[in-house]
Structure 1
Amino acid sequence: MANIANADPNALVILSAIISSIISNSRDPDELETIANFLTAVADLINLRVGQLSHQEDAKKMKQQITDLENQLCELKKKYY
């Protein structure tokens, strides 16, 4: 997971899409709890990465990803908790 903190912003966009797909296709509460924990960790690492970015456009992209992941996590909690 530490590699996510150093990942290219485009790779994180792809990761976010994969996670969204997994969430939308999953129905097992235990699996969804694991995904929720993973999303929280990813959002934390993206926050760290945003602090390291020197390009404003990359920072905007990363902040949008954080918002998207937080929204996915909220939807997941509403759906299964």
Structure 2
Amino acid sequence: MSVIDFSVPVHRSLQQRDLLAGVPHSALFVLVIFGIVTVYMAQLYWFLPVIIVLYIAMRILTKHDPFLLDIIFISITQDDYLLP
């Protein structure tokens, strides 16, 4: 018996990343919280188009690589240190 005899079809939805509105959950959460703070609490209504542009940019980046925004968040929050 060969390896092909034991193959099992795997659905594409099991291999793809779960996205919310086309953006990863953590990135959308940060954008929504940032939008609520600036538009609602600080009453900077002119910032709403900026948030929409940021959402479109995040969606385009996610379409090319679903893990890119998570990699950016990890690299921003990672401590900088030099090894001797």
Give the TM-score of the pair, scaled to structure 1: 0.40
Give the TM-score of the pair, scaled to structure 2: 0.39
Which of the pair has more CA radius of gyration? Answer: 2
Higher relative contact order (CA 8 A, sep 6+): 1
Higher helix share: 1
